[in-house]
Amino acid sequence: MGFEVIKTDSRTKARLGLLTTAHGVVETPVFMDVGTQGTVKALEPRDLEENGAQVVLGNTYHLMLRPGPDVIAAAGGLHQFMRWNGPILTDSGGFQVFSLAKMRKITEEGCRFNSHLDGHEFFLGPKESMSMQRVLGSDIAMVFDECLPYPCDRERAEKSVEQTLRWAKASKDQPHAEGQLVFGIVQGGVYDDLRRHCAEELVKIGFDGYAIGGVSVGEPEEFMYKAVDASEPFLPKDSPRYVMGLGVMHQMAECVARGVDMFDCVIPTRVARHGTAITRKGNVAIKAAKWIFDQGPVEEGCECYCCRNFTRSYVRHLLNAGEILGLRLLTIHNVFALNRFMKDMRSAIAGGSFAEWKEQIRKDTCHE
């Protein structure tokens, strides 16, 4: 198990790679579909396979609360529980330290939460997070960290980075599932020197891969790229780099140009639930009245099951009637669209045309 760079673009830092895990080889750059509670919303595992998904995410915090470690252990781990045979990456629960700010108290050992489900108190730290990820049996486990909000003053950022580094070391020292890779997470907010410091210290600890965290948390787009630029040069070239929580086409292309290999985001399923299709010409509101008689597919030229078989008019009708099939069809399309996008990106890198391809993506999706 490990990571191999098989080609680097001559004009950017974009690269093709192969990440070997216990449940298969992942071609990078890769978009990873989010299945927070052991399912990518509205889809079956066979849907994921048919639509090009390579890696599915699970969330330690949510799965610890429901159904709980005993249930998943009895099933033989998360792969068996959800019947997904491909690679799984599990978040550590550290993002919930950020997102549940009003319901938690941070200590040196970890974070005491009040459950968002019923308010009961529980504790999650490096030991508990890695123990749960060991039960889940994920191919890639993330260290427990603290995700900084935006904006964040420097004094708070400094303390948080040091806490994240201590938690990273504690996470690395915990027992792991057989064959489980462990990734460190670079934090530091908008402060370049803190990003560098965090990256360098994580490399000293030594991980199988490195994520750039604390982006896509409300900051302007340029600060997101700045965080990547401040972190990437200090991460090993022979290890995968992962920007967490990012799933917008032109932003992923820009980050790949900066040397990033992996992404995840809830965008495909979330926007589908609101009636929005992801296309290579930008997002399209399918529920809009303008499509009431439209007999074309959700996206022209798309080869997903939805676009091959149904019209915009019909999918719009389902969505406006509150029919579950509408959400399912649009989710199928969106998951296919992003996985196809990454496949096309890999082809552009392989063919030496990535720089031009990236600029065309920005023009098309941002309507420049």
Closest to 350 in 3D by CA, of 123, 49, 27, 22:
27
Structure tokens at 22: 């216990």
Give DSSP secondary structure letters for 192-237. HHHHHHHHHHHHHH--SEEEE-S-SSS--HHHHHHHHHHHGGGS-T
CA atoms within 13 A on the CB side of 187: 28
Copy the structure tokens of residue 211.
Answer: 């994520």
Burial class (CB in 10 A: 0-12, 13-18, 19+), 362: middle
Query: Pairing mode, if any, of strands 241-243 and 209-212?
Result: parallel
Q: How far is it, in rounded angstroms, from Cα 156 to Cα 55? A: 34
Active-site entry in 9, 33, 208, 264: 264
Altogether, the residues listed in the chain come to a count of 368
DSSP 280: B
Instruction: Tell me, yes or no, if 208 is annotated catalytic.
Output: no
Spatial distance between the Cα atoms of 95 and 5, rounded to a whole number of angstroms = 29
* Token pair in block for residue 191: 């402060």
Cβ atoms within 10 Å of 218's Cβ, excluding its own = 9
> What is the distance between the alpha carbons of residues 344 and 274, in angstroms, rounded to a whole number?
26
Active site residue 33: no
**C-alpha pair distances (Å), 253 with each of 31, 60, 194, 300, 358:** 11, 28, 25, 22, 6
Of 91, 139, 145, 208, the catalytic one is 91
Indicate which residues carry an active-site annotation.
Answer: 91, 264
